[in-house]
Amino acid sequence: MSGIERILVVGSGTMGSQIGLVAALAGYDTTVQDISEPMLAKAKAELSARMDTSVAKGRLTVAEAEAALGRLFFSTDLESAAARADFVIEAATERLDVKEQIFARIGQLAPEHAILATNSSTLGSSKVAAATGRADRVCNMHFFNPALVMKCVEVVRHEATSQATVETTLELARRFGKEPVLINREIPGFIANRLMGAVQKEALALAAAGIASKEDIDTTARTALGHPMGPFELMDMVGLDVIDFIAQATYAETGDEADRPDPQVAALVAEGKLGRKSGQGWYSY
């Protein structure tokens, strides 16, 4: 896309690292930045392993995988990465104070033309836009887990987001090989998490009432509805802490009793059972 050559992804967790590889695979010179060296090292190792698997499965040639990894840089230096970025995707911790700080710094460091997007699923970009001094070039660009695979990207505009920012972000998502959707107004959960939340809520209620086991509810979602995973399996993949956080943020914003976080999920989180990443959630791994 004209004007966009270099991409900065802030945060090297599950989402940030895979978003970085998506951008590098699409041909962009990409830097994944994090304050933690060990996180960057872990991300680098995981992404290299993903590329090895893609080569082994015949999805990519060795040369394509090497070229993508050659375009992907890992750095703790926000200043120099932001100074060269044409487009920034923030995928750091889901905490407003952290994001505000990041956006304020990037607003100062990034070139004037750069668009600053947040991958947040819960915080609308209007919450960080003012800190950047360029609210018209700020929006949400929300990817799904696993970002290498899932086609959807929710592009969410806030009141001051310009049409040019929306169009550039949608086009970049297409260049990434994604199928972006546009959300014209900030609303808790955007589209996908509202849909996912509705299914999860019903699944949790059915299980809590002893009407069916979680296994049978998951099987039904797969075999009757064609979902790739059942709601309990999906919660474990996304992370029960993330599910609980999304619910808390939604409830804080809407105050609607129907959005109250589920106590079963909160109890698992309190026991350190976070899903796949901790080896135990609804299921054992």
Residues that bind ligand CAA (CB under 6 A): 50, 53-54, 57, 59, 121, 144-146, 148-150, 192-193, 196, 228-229, 234, 238, 242
Distance CA 276, CA 212 (A): 23
Candidate list 54, 119, 120, 121, residue with the active-site label: 121
Active site annotation includes 142? yes
Is 34 labelled a binding residue?
A: yes
Distance CA 229, CA 223 (A): 10
Candidate list 119, 120, 125, 193, residue with the active-site label: 193
Is 272 labelled a binding residue?
A: no
Is 11 labelled a binding residue?
A: yes
Q: What is the DSSP letter of 111?
A: -
Choice between 54 and 165, CB closer to ligand CAA: 54
Active site annotation includes 121? yes
Distance CA 107, CA 198 (A): 36
Q: What is the smallest separation between the CB atom of 247 and ligand CAA, expressed in angstroms?
A: 11
Is 133 labelled a binding residue?
A: no
Choice between 196 and 268, CB closer to ligand CAA: 196
- In this structure, the strands spanning 29-33 and 87-90 are unpaired
Choice between 122 and 135, CB closer to ligand CAA: 122
Q: What is the smallest separation between the CB atom of 210 and ligand CAA, expressed in angstroms?
A: 26
Choice between 86 and 94, CB closer to ligand CAA: 94
Distance CA 117, CA 236 (A): 27
> Is 158 in a helix, a strand, or coil?
coil
Candidate list 125, 140, 154, 186, residue with the active-site label: 154
Distance CA 137, CA 191 (A): 22
Active site annotation includes 113? no
Choice between 69 and 192, CB closer to ligand CAA: 192
Phi first, then psi: give them for residue 101, nearest 5 degrees: -60, -45
Under 8 Å between Cβ of 240 and 268: yes
Q: Is the dihedral of CA 22, 25, 26, 30 positive or negative?
A: positive
> Is 75 in a helix, a strand, or coil?
strand
Is 284 labelled a binding residue?
A: no
Q: What is the smallest separation between the CB atom of 196 and ligand CAA, expressed in angstroms?
A: 6
Residue 106 burial (C-beta neighbours within 10 Å; 0-12, 13-18, 19+)? buried
Is 127 labelled a binding residue?
A: no
Candidate list 17, 125, 142, 186, residue with the active-site label: 142
Q: What is the smallest separation between the CB atom of 47 and ligand CAA, expressed in angstroms?
A: 9
Active site annotation includes 17? no
Q: What is the smallest separation between the CB atom of 265 and ligand CAA, expressed in angstroms?
A: 13
In angstroms, what CA-CA distances link 141 with 38, 145, 151, 230? 26, 13, 13, 26
Tokens of 185: 């107004």
Q: What is the DSSP letter of 261?
A: P
Q: Tell me, what amino acid is at 46?
A: E
Is 99 labelled a binding residue?
A: yes
Query: Binding site for NAD(+): which residues?
Result: 11-16, 34, 94, 99, 121, 145, 277
User: Which residues does the annotation mark as catalytic?
Assistant: 121, 142, 154, 193
